[in-house]
Structures are given as structure tokens and as C-alpha cells.
Structure 1
Amino acid sequence: MFRRLSRAGRVEFKSLTVFSFVCMLLLPLMALAEEQPLEARRPQAKQNKADQGLTAEELAERARESVVSVSFAGRDGQQAGLGTGFVIGADGLIATNLHVIGEARPISVQLADGTKYEVQEVFATDRLMDLAVLKISVTDLKPLKLAEPETLKQGAEIVVLGNPQGLRYSVVKGVNSGTREIDGKPMIQLAIPIEPGNSGGPVLDSRGHVQGIVTLKSAVTRNLGYAVNISALKGLLEKPNPVPIERWLTIGTLDEHLWKPLFGSRWRQRAGRIQVDGFGSGLGSRSLCVSQEALPELPYEVAVEVKLDDESGAAGLIFYSDENTKHYGFYPSNKSLRISRFDGPDVFLWRVLDEKKSNAYREGEWNHLKVRLETDRILCFVNDEKVFEVKDQHYTEGKVGLAKFRNTVASFRGFQVGSQIPPYRPSKETAQKILDLTEDLRVDRPPQADLIEAVVKETDERRAQQALQERARLLQKQAERLKQLAQSIHERAVRDELKAIFTSEKKEADIDLMAAALLVARLDNNEVEPKVYLGQMTSMVNEIKKTLPEDANAKAKLKALNQYLFHETGFHGSRTNYYSRSNSYINETIEDREGLPITLSVLYMELGRRLGLDIDGVGLPGHFVVRVNSTAEKGELVDVFEGGETLSEEAAKVMILSANGGRFDGEYLKAQPKRDIIQRMLRNLLNIARDDEDVQSMLRYVETMIAIDEELLQERWLRAVLRYQTGRISEAIADTDYLLEKSPEGFDLRRIHEFRNYLETVRQD
């Protein structure tokens, strides 16, 4: 991952296709890095300095006059961003990153001696390469020499100059780790710490020539950054695209005759959309953009499509605005819809009139908001579905417009005001006709011209797109449900096999623990074939038997088992990634020869059983061991995780006391039934899924635990909650009914009653 950071507080993400990295623009380059020893000074005399190169101190001294700081101003005139640039022309040409100079903002350049110049012209830009060349009115600058492309060797030492975190003129030494192409950009990979503020700074080789321009920093590794190769800058200088600053300041700005932004934030227009980001200065970090359009007489409607970058944000419509702090607002907020009245600048003058969730609202997509203003009421709609009807008449006149709250990044399109705005979506009849036309859409070729023509005849382009996109969303959801159904059928089959293993008719000695453990692994991976691993177990046992005489006693067999597992094949406890799910799967324990105490113990027990040994599992709190009953009258505890070391009873008691709050319980030293061992393996997986917030997996493990032991009441309560969280409301109600009927001691039945009543309110089937 790479990060491009903004001093203004905004973080933007961009996907890089080559490495699947998440990138952030590294605005102003960076803070002083850890001090690194500078290259030793060259011995004086009789050595060619040009051939030998310069020290970091010498490079920094020579380049000091040529490195500048670049900043742009926000709406309030205060500095909103700071980065680095460097002189490439004595006549005032400065190279930097495009993201350093923002958009449509006044830009200034400060030289090393403190002299500050306003940028007169954006001489050249390249958005793909994130490059910009600025022009200031000065004629006696000292430019840095640009290197010839492809002359920086891998492993060569480099020096980066910049203004990290606003600290003027920082020097950091590093190494060229290699070249990479990221999203079509020729980049130099730098083994060097990069911080906000270094963006746009020069990367110098040992001769003081510029090899690249710092652009990205890693969000994963501290000492890793990227620079655009100098070849990109040279190509840009060959064909510049000069824009006078007067024209630059109008790029993306809203027409002041149509819109009036209030309370800060950054409102701009691009490709027919209005976009906004940054904190506002109003209540709730609110920012407004008030339409200056003349309004019709009541009743009338105002509408817009809005899309939030994060559903925890809030943005939408305002109406009856005094172009200051008083107005109404209708907007999505944290996945709900809300209508509020703002009566002034502070929180005590902000009233939420109503709030609810709506099935018509589509998270992460464009949503159409519409407000109808009548003389005695306010009607609010999302995607043509009525959400609110409000009688509040505190304000009855004023402007309409847009609003955003908190640090929301939002886009708006299709803003409309009119006496009656047409429906956003096509009628049910039109939508059905379009769906009928596409019912037999072939999947082996693109749509043909005659089908396109037939669909267009039914309605306009926008509504046709909406009908088809709605159908596509439905089919995608159906596809997900089909996958879910297939997975559920697989899980049901595995659970049925486990139930058959642990049927009450079977004696403990007849239960195949290895087969059950393999089914636990198969629960998560339907490619696990238990027969394959059971066959592998047979092969392992045969290998051990080859080393034993036919009349080998139990002690000899145990010694051979230990020798084979821990010395010849290298089975061992997993320590570097203990909580990986792989360690809970017995098949991967066999394949990787490492695992948890319980999976290694199950393997040990089952190999021993096939060799004729009597080995039981012992579930100490927090640590699973085995007891080998053939070596002593009471048996001997063995810690398989520790390579088969014996464990004294006293040491085991210490472990119990430590893990059990200082309380000793001799039950922990008894042999654990095989059903309980499988339940413990499932609990391990459940805990990992809980830590990963993987609700679907949690439900899968709990369902399986209950399948092999229906008396697990705590797990049934957990299953009720998990079923609710995954939309299985009827099944959740069945679990609460079961618990209420049983009325087990220690349960808060009042809480279960309340939960059941709530489930009835959200039940839809």
C-alpha cells in the first residue's frame, strides 16, 4: 500500500492495478527521517571527483538554493497544502507534483532564502504522471541538472530533498531499490523513509543530477517510497500546456451566478457533477452550497442524485434556507435517512424531525432525493418512495441547495427545481416491458443492435439504464443467494456426517476422531476429501510399523511414534502464526507439519490408536495435551505441541491454576470425550472468526456445534443473535422460543423475551 497525504486532512485512495496496492496521494512530503550515517568523506588529492561522486553533505549543499517549498491557499486564504519543488529553469520554472498544487487555488513558491513568489502560470501538467511545472517571475535561479533517463543503477545511493511536515529543507539518504511500473507510470522504488511534505522533491544521484520526483510513500513499510522517473518530466517539458494563473483559478469552480458555497469545504464541478470534500465550519462540520436559481410558487419540488464515498457520512438537500444557519435538510446519514431543522449556529438549535431506514435506499450507489414543498407539509422521497411527511411550518420560504456534514466526500448530479419533477425510475409497466425484452439475453455475445433499438423505444436512455441496472442488481443478489444456498447445502451435508459419527448408539472407542476432525476442516473447504487423508494416515502408520518388530511393546511403539513425528518428519507447534485458521484444520496440520496443541494431539492420538496405543486427550485450560496410559499406572501426560515432552502432574496443575484464575479443578486432568474435543476445535475457529468479525463463519461453527449436541444452550442463544445479524429472522425466533420453553437457569429470560419481541418487528416473511 502507498499513501499520498494531505495537510488539509483529507485522505484519498486510489487502486493500483499492478500490485493491487491501495494508494494515497502524498501531499506535502515529509518529516525528518531517522538519522543515517552520511557517506564517509573522500580522501583528498588526486581522485577524480566526477567519477567518484559527491557525499550527501556535498549534494545537499550544492542543491540547497534549487529546492523550494510549494503551497496553495484554501477558500479562507490560509495555507491548505504544502509540498516541495525544485528549480529546472533559471527563468522561473519549478517542477513538483500535481497533487501538491491542488486545483483552482492560488499557488506560491518560497525559495531557500525565504523570498516568496506567487505563481504566474501553470506551465505544464500531467495528471496521469502526477507532475506539474510552475512559472514564477524571476530570472536568476539556479536549476538542477536533469539526468539522462535509465542512468540510475539498481543499488545506487540517492539523496532526497524536501520539506517534510512543513520542516524546511530536509535531507534523507537512501538507495535505489529498482524500477517499477505502477498503473502505467515508470517509477523508481526508493529504500528511504518518506513523509508528507516530500512530495515533489528531487531524487539526486551521486553527481547531483535529478533522477526522479518523489510521489508516493508506502502505507505498509516505513522505509519505502516511489518517485516518478525523470523521463516523464523530460517528456512533459517537450510539449508543455501553459495555463495562466487567472485561468487556472477557474478550473472546476462553480458558477457564482448559480451557486453560493457557505461555511468552507471544497465545492467544485467536474464532468457535470458537483463534488465536495473537506470539513465545513458550520454546525456538525456542515457546509452548504445554496442555489441562486429563482424558485417557483408553492407547491414545488427540488431533487438531486447523491452518492457518498462512505455511508457513515451525510450529504443531501437543503430548503427554506436563509443563506446562513437556518434551513431544513433531507439527507442520508449513517445508512439512515433524516430530515432536520437547523435554527442557528450551535447544537442546541439543531432538531432532527424524523429519522428512519428505507429499503429503497441503495448503499454505496447513486440515490435520488426529492422534496416536495406544499403550503402545509413537506414530503421527502428517496428513489421515488415516500420516506417522510412532515407538518413542521417553522420556515416557509427561502433558498434551496446542497449540504454535507462531517468529513464526508460526496458527489451530486442532476439537481432540479420545478413545480413537478418527473418520476426518477421508469413506471412498473415500462420496466416490465424492458425486462421482457431482455429475459432471454444471451450470455455468449454482447447485446445486438435490434435489442438495443427495442429497449430504447420503450423509454428514454436514463430510465432504460435504471431498469436494466435494477435488474442487474437483482440478478447479482440472486447469484449471491445461489452461492449461499450451495454453501448451506454443503454445510448441512458435513453436519449430517458429524452427527452420524457422534450418534448416541456409538461407543467412545468406536468413534473415529480423525474422520470427525477432517469434517471440521471440510466445513470450511469442500475440497477436503477425508478419504485421502485417512489413507495418508494409514501410510504414516505403515512407515512407523516398518521400524518395529512384530512383538513390539507399547513403550517401543510410543518411542517409534515420537521418533517419526518429531525427528524424522518434523511435526511441530506453530509459533509464528499461532492464530491462523490453518492451524485448526487437521488436513493442513498434516500437510504443513505444524499446528495447534489440539490438532497435533488429535494426530498423535489417532496415529497411536492405529498402532495399538491407548492415548486420550486432556483439555487443560488454554492448552491441550494427551495422556499415554500404557507407560504408567496413572498414565503419563505428553505435550505434543512441545515435541512430545512429558508433563508432570505438578506442572499440569500449575497450568490449570494459571489459566483458571488460581482455582484448581481435577476434572481438567481427566480424559476428554471425543465429542468434546471436536467441540473445542470448533470453538477455536469460532473465536478466530469473532476476532475477524466474520459473522457468517461464526454462524457456521455454532450451527455445527449444536448439530452434534443439541443441549448447548449458550451456543443456541449465540446462534439466535447470529441468525438475526445475517437476516435469518424466522430461524432466530425459533431459537428464542426454544430457550423460553426450556427456561434454563442462569439465563436472563426477560432479555430473551425482549429480543424475541424485537425480532417480530423486523420479521418480513
Structure 2
Amino acid sequence: MASIQFRLFLLPTALLAYSVLFAADIRQALAEESADAKSVEQLTTELKPSLVTISTKGRDGKYQGVGTGFVIDADGLIVTNLHVIGDSREFRIEDSEGGELKVTGIHASDRTMDLAIIQVQADALKPLPLGDINSLAQGAPIIVMGNPHGLRNSVVAGVNSGIREIDGRKMMQLAIPIEPGNSGGPVLDMYGRVHGIVTMKSLVTANLGFAVDIAPLKALLDSPNPVSIDKWLTIGSLDPRDWKPVFGAQWKQRGGRILVGGAGAGFAGRSLCLYQGDVPEIPYEIQVRVKLDDEKGAAGLVFFSDGRNKHYGFYPTNNKVRFTLFEGSSVFTWTVLYDQPFDGYQAGEFNTLKARIEEDRFKLYVNGQLVLESTNRNLTGGTPGLAKFRETAADFRNFQVAKKIDAATLSEAERNELSEAITAIPPLADLQPDALSPFLDSPIESRAILHAEAKRLEQKLAELKKLDADVHTAAVAQEMKRHFGAYEKQLSEQEDKQAVSLDLINAALIIASVDEQDINIEAYLRQVERMVGDIRSQLADNASPDEVRKALNHYLFEDNGFHGARFDYYHRANSYMNRLLDDREGLPITLSVLYMELGKRLGLQIDGVGIPGHFIVRQRIDDEMLYIDPFDEGKELSMDEVKNLATGDRPDRFDERFLETASPKNILMRMLNNLLGLAQDEEDKEGMLRYLEVLMALDETHVQNRGMRAIVRFETGRKQAAINDLDYFLDTRPPELDLNQIQQMRDYFSQ
């Protein structure tokens, strides 16, 4: 038994000895690796020769759009982002000393991962070593080298924040400033090994960027797809036998489509793409399907072009259909012959434009419906084609030129029959394959009707979502009206006005519930009462107002860490009372409301003071006034400090009215106006409308808010509600309004 016990003891002893030796090996290896780590200065000097600068040729023939690349093979392989070199665009590569490297081809590319490996003519470049996949720890220090804003061979240090999936791609998140020009640059550890390729910067904050890790780069190296530079420059380019671009822009061809982006070199960003094939004798027709990326843009058909500045243009723009005569290079030589909304135009969708050219007139169609007949004959012949204006990106499909283009449309009865068949389709789960048979005789028409029905249902869904939001907002506004109305009623009935108070925390929670729909207001009010109890438990029965205030400050700012929002000040959450109670961070006014209400519950005489650009509180102690800034952790303010806060350090502009006590109504309206301003800055019309509805619940006679609500209601599709607001003005006749303008606005809204 003793020997057995001894052997059992030996085993863990041996393991312990092994682990000690193994740990020593690890420590030695780590020490050796740590010794190899270099400073940013050392790495910059050593790695600079491996960087290259990449610039692409613009439509004016000049090189621009600087990006970054880096050498991974001495024989001339350079890595960058695919978007840095683009498709069918000439580009130039310069080494770190400014010498040009001759490009011979694209060794490999991956559009999904935004990677390109370029082959240049060289045999003695200095490559950067690639790190092991997934070997860079989260939180590890990194550097990025590149050419931000064209500032060549720049370096910046930061941290690997982790791995994120963005648009289905595994990306490194970098706590580091990334700017245009960094794209394609290497992400390196402190040993000079590449772990990623900078791809994009954050649009939200400056010190955040993203990079493709090296796994797809290594996969690309293992399976290259080489293309010579001559062939590469023709990828996506138009066949010159069919098309001739005029005035620049980026015209490309993919899968039978013609795509265009970027501004043209002509006035107002005009660019043409003229058809080079045979054109029939008059009469003839031209047709194309076009979709705009932004309805404020413009793109469509041209005809009778002289190859430069003169032509007719027929195109949608700003949800209208326009027909223009272009007789020169500037707007002063352009004549708009037609510019009207057209019910048959489908915004955001592909629309078919057709022009029939006859001896004495033009007939212009949208989606098979005649829009205009024009007898203008200032131009009498020339080439047809395509056009775009401004920064519009457009997708053109099925361009045709023929004596007559078949409409391939069904009769009204056939369309009705097809629509009825579509309406009768069972749910997808119950659909039999042969149920599609009725639609296969006219698949194009069937798909068009299905698409229109889907569009109608999408619009109905959007309207129902708006209705759902409107019901919620109306309920919140009703609750605010009830809560504030009870206060006003009590105020009007009671002689001692000072004895009447409004629970501002309750009201602030109602405001927050406009956006935070699942707030349990009663639970938060109980939380506030518990806070009062916690503070009161620390006080003597005869505590002075000064002692109560100090206990309140200690509880909020020292024990519980309530503080002003300084790093994301303009986030809407800082205006929500529930988020203040949850996160202990907020705006001056939300912190002041909490401070006031806790103080009042503890017996303090305390009011709000809404100075310009800030909000503070004022405690009354006998005949003394003490000003306090809850945003600054309860700091006591001298009168000079108050004046500087109110005037931006220009006390000569101070007005005593700045110190007037803010009424409950003014406080609530100020909170809502803060939210309204943020929504307006973000162009969030639905958000603006939500806050305006609650503002109107506080004061339905407020002319400016009602006027703004009328406009926003109209802009968000609530036409009748907007008209009701204008009718209110026409009935009540506010003296500050021009009623003739209100009537004109009403007439416009009623169209």
C-alpha cells in the first residue's frame, strides 16, 4: 500500500516539475519575443521602403485619388484594396521615394473582400512578412502606415479592438484614426508583421476603422486569378463599336446593363453616352429602362445629338418627367419644354422611357403611357443615346433603337384576368408548382403586375407602421395633456400657487416614452422614491437645508456616479429620464430635473433656471440664492460663473431675465425642443412629428409649433392632418400670421 501511495505521489510531482520547466520555456520564449518588439520609430524606419502610393486617373486625365499599397514579394507583388484601383481605370504606383513602378498585371483580386494583388516589374523590393492567421490578440498594440489625405508614408499607432462581421465579412476593428488615403495600407503588430489591410473608416467617430484580416489575402495568394493590365483596363468598359461616352463620368457595362456614376465634366455634371450603331430613317423609336439611385438626380434618353452640346433630353428628375432642349454648354442655352409630375412614373423602380421620332413631332412615353407630344424642331438630326446629370448613379437596361419597338402589352381584359389570378394565389406554403402556369404565357407582364402588387403591399405596410407609431404618439400626447392639465387645473383653483407643483420626473418619463415605448413609468417613480429614502436615511431629523443639499450631492455624484454627458452629448438618449436613471448620464436639463425633484421631496426650496445654452438650479435658503450646476457634479456657482455660462464668457451681454425661474411648462417644452432640434439635424421627419405632437399637447395655441407640425405632417404624407392645422389658423386668425399665405399653402396642400 505504501508503494502505491508513493507512486501516486510521484505522478503529480513529475507533472509539477514538467509544468515548471514548460512554464520556464514559455517565459523564455515570451521574453525573447518581447525583446524583438520594436518601437513605432524603429518600425517606421524599417517598413517605409515597403510602402507604395497608388493614384488613379480621373476623367480630366490627371492622376488623383491617392491610396496605399504594400509589398509582399520581392519580385513585385503589391497588396491594396480593390476599390483603390477600381475597374477599368488607369492607375499609377510609386515607391516610398517617389519612383514609378511599372504595372504589368493584376495577380489576383477578390471583389467581396475588396482585395487586389498587383504585379509590378521589379525584382528587389522589400516585402513585409505576413503574420499568422488569428494570432493578433484583442487589445494588442498595432500601427497603420499609409497616405492619409495624400500625406505620404504616415504612421499612426492604436489597438486591435477585436473582430466584427460587417456585411458578411470578417473584419478587424481598429481603435485608430483612419482617413481617406489609408485604404490598402498594412495593419502591423510591433514586430512588423502584417495582420490586416485597412479598408474603411467609421462614419460615426474619428478613432475607429476597419481592416480585412490576412486570411482571405493568404487564400488569394494560394489561388490567384491573374489578368494582364491591358485586359484589366477593359473590364466593364463599354465597347467603342457600340457606345461613345462624352463629358466624362464613369460609364460601365455589366451583364447587358449600362451603369454610370460620378459627375460628368459638362455643366451641371452632364455626361452623355452616345449610341454608335445604325439608326433607322425617320420615323423611328428609341427606348430604355432606367433606375436612378436618387430621385433628386437625373438620367434618361437623348436624341438628335451633335456629339457634343446640342441634343434633346427626356429623363426623370426629382419625381418629375422632364423634356429639355440643349443648345449649348451652359444652362442659359437650355430650354425646359416640359417638367411635370407623372402618375405613371414609379419612383425608386425601373421605368421604361420611349421616344418616337416622327417628321413633325416627338411622342414621349413613360411605362407605355403617352406623356407628351412636342412639335419643337430646333434640332433636326443626330445621334441617340443616354444622359445623366449631377452626381446621379443610374442603371440602364434594354436600350433599343428600331423603326418600331413592340410594346408587348396585354389588353385591359387580359391584365384584369391576370390580376385576378394573382390575387387568388394561395399562401406560399400551400402553393402547387402548376399554380404558376397561368403566368408563364406572359411572364414579363405577370412579373410587372406582381411587382406592382408587392409595391402596393409594401406601401400599405409602411402606412400601417406609421399608423401604429401615430397611435402610440397620440397616446403619449394624451397622457401628457392629462398629467399637465391636472396641474394647470389645480393651479387655477388654488389660491396658494406656491403649494401647487408638477411631478417633473413623471412628465419627463412621459416625454421619454415617445421614443422608449416600453418604459414602466411607475417602476421608475418607485426607484426615485427609494432614492429619496436612501438620502433621508443619512440625514438627522433636524438637518439644515445646507446639510440636505450636501447629502443629495454626495448621493448622486459620489456614491452613484451621476454625471453629465460629455463624449456623446447630442445623443437623444441623454434627454430621456429613464436612461438617466439607468445609465446615470444625461444633459444639463435632465440632471437638473432629477436634482430639483429629489431636492423638493427632501424639503428643499429649489427651482430650475434655463440660462441660454445651459440649465442650472437655484436653491433658496432664507433670503440667499445658491446656484448649482448638476451637470458639473453639483458645483456651486458664483454669480460671475453664472454670467459666463449664460453668455459664453461675455458677461457684458448678460441679461437679468436669464435668471428667471423656469416654469414646469417651459422646462418640458425645452426638453422636447432639444429632441426636436436633434431630429431636425438628422432630417428625421417622423421623429420631429412625434415631438411636435407632444409639444402641442402642452400648448395647442403655440403658433410656431402648429405651423411646423403642418409642414412636417404634409412632408410625411399626412395631408389631411396638415390641412386641419392650417384650417385652425384660418379659423382663429392669429395676428402674427399672413392669412393669405396660409390660404395659399392650404390650396397647395389640397392639390
Q: 1:53-64 alignment to 2 at 5 Å?
A: none
SS in 1 for 2:514: helix
Aligned to 1:318: 302
**8 Å Cα contact 1:172-1:192 kept in structure 2:** no
Aligned to 2:696: 706
Aligned to 1:270: 254
1:456 aligns with 2:440: yes
Query: How far off its partner does 1:450 sit?
Result: 3.2
Aligned to 2:743: 756
Letter in 1 for 2:469: Q
Q: 1:325-364 alignment to 2 at 5 Å?
A: 325-364=309-348
Q: 1:562-581 alignment to 2 at 5 Å?
A: 569=560, 571=562, 574-581=565-572
Partner Cα separation in structure 2 for residue 463 and residue 349 of structure 1: 41
1:526 aligns with 2:514: no
Partner Cα separation in structure 2 for residue 646 and residue 77 of structure 1: 64
Letter in 1 for 2:523: V
Aligned to 2:581: 590
Aligned to 1:19: none
Query: How far off its partner does 1:273 sit?
Result: 0.8
Judged with a 3 Å threshold, the aligned counterparts in structure 2 of structure 1 residues 397 and 663 are, in CA distance, closer, same or farther, namely same
Aligned to 1:536: 527
Letter in 2 for 1:291: Y
Q: Structure 1, residues 632-660: CA drift from partner, whole Å, max 9, x if none?
A: 26987766556667778998799889999
Letter in 2 for 1:726: T
Q: Which runs of 5+ in 2 are unaligned?
A: 1-31, 493-498
Aligned to 2:127: 144
Partner Cα separation in structure 2 for residue 327 and residue 667 of structure 1: 63
Partner Cα separation in structure 2 for residue 673 and residue 61 of structure 1: 64
Find the partner of 2:478 among 489, 496, 512: 496
SS in 2 for 1:290: strand
Partner Cα separation in structure 2 for residue 551 and residue 167 of structure 1: 68
Q: Which runs of 5+ in 1 are unaligned?
A: 1-47
Query: How far off its partner does 1:465 sit?
Result: 2.4
Partner Cα separation in structure 1 for residue 430 and residue 655 of structure 2: 71
Judged with a 3 Å threshold, the aligned counterparts in structure 2 of structure 1 residues 444 and 287 are, in CA distance, closer, same or farther, namely closer
Query: How far off its partner does 1:384 sit?
Result: 3.5
Find the partner of 1:694 among 678, 684, 702: 684
Aligned to 2:21: none
Query: How far off its partner does 1:402 sit?
Result: 0.4
Partner Cα separation in structure 1 for residue 639 and residue 70 of structure 2: 73
Q: Structure 1, residues 724-751: CA drift from partner, whole Å, max 9, x if none?
A: 3333333333333332343333x141xx
Aligned to 2:87: 103
**Per residue, is there more helix in 1 or in 2?**
2
SS in 1 for 2:712: helix
Partner Cα separation in structure 1 for residue 188 and residue 645 of structure 2: 59
Query: How far off its partner does 1:259 sit?
Result: 1.7
TM-score w.r.t. length of structure 1: 0.77
**8 Å Cα contact 2:644-2:651 kept in structure 1:** no
Partner Cα separation in structure 2 for residue 622 and residue 54 of structure 1: 48
**8 Å Cα contact 2:614-2:646 kept in structure 1:** no
Letter in 1 for 2:341: K
Query: How far off its partner does 1:49 sit?
Result: 13
Judged with a 3 Å threshold, the aligned counterparts in structure 2 of structure 1 residues 203 and 377 are, in CA distance, closer, same or farther, namely same
- Percent of aligned pairs sharing the same letter: 44
Partner Cα separation in structure 2 for residue 79 and residue 649 of structure 1: 60
Partner Cα separation in structure 2 for residue 178 and residue 762 of structure 1: 52
Aligned to 1:8: none
Judged with a 3 Å threshold, the aligned counterparts in structure 2 of structure 1 residues 655 and 163 are, in CA distance, closer, same or farther, namely closer
Aligned to 2:392: 408
Judged with a 3 Å threshold, the aligned counterparts in structure 2 of structure 1 residues 408 and 523 are, in CA distance, closer, same or farther, namely closer
Q: 1:109-120 alignment to 2 at 5 Å?
A: 119-120=103-104
Judged with a 3 Å threshold, the aligned counterparts in structure 2 of structure 1 residues 346 and 429 are, in CA distance, closer, same or farther, namely same
TM-score w.r.t. length of structure 2: 0.78
Partner Cα separation in structure 2 for residue 620 and residue 524 of structure 1: 27
Q: 1:458-473 alignment to 2 at 5 Å?
A: 459-460=442-443, 462-473=444-455
Q: Structure 1, residues 693-731: CA drift from partner, whole Å, max 9, x if none?
A: 333333333333333433323333333333333333333
Q: Which has the higher mean CA deviation after the structures are superposed, 230-239 or 342-351?
A: 230-239
Judged with a 3 Å threshold, the aligned counterparts in structure 2 of structure 1 residues 245 and 304 are, in CA distance, closer, same or farther, namely same
Query: How far off its partner does 1:343 sit?
Result: 1.2
Letter in 1 for 2:265: S
Q: Which has the higher mean CA deviation after the structures are superposed, 391-400 or 345-354?
A: 345-354
Query: How far off its partner does 1:484 sit?
Result: 1.7
Find the partner of 1:127 among 90, 111, 114: 111
Q: 1:41-440 alignment to 2 at 5 Å?
A: 52=36, 78-79=62-63, 95-105=79-89, 119-135=103-119, 140-142=123-125, 144=127, 146-147=129-130, 149-150=132-133, 153-154=136-137, 170=153, 172=155, 174=157, 177=160, 180=163, 200=184, 215-216=199-200, 228-230=212-214, 232-423=216-407, 429=413, 432-439=416-423
Judged with a 3 Å threshold, the aligned counterparts in structure 2 of structure 1 residues 556 and 59 are, in CA distance, closer, same or farther, namely closer
Query: How far off its partner does 1:322 sit?
Result: 1.9
Partner Cα separation in structure 2 for residue 249 and residue 639 of structure 1: 64
Find the partner of 2:726 among 704, 714, 736: 736
Query: How far off its partner does 1:128 sit?
Result: 3.1
Partner Cα separation in structure 2 for residue 206 and residue 548 of structure 1: 56
**8 Å Cα contact 1:311-1:364 kept in structure 2:** yes
SS in 2 for 1:499: helix
SS in 1 for 2:268: coil
SS in 2 for 1:500: helix
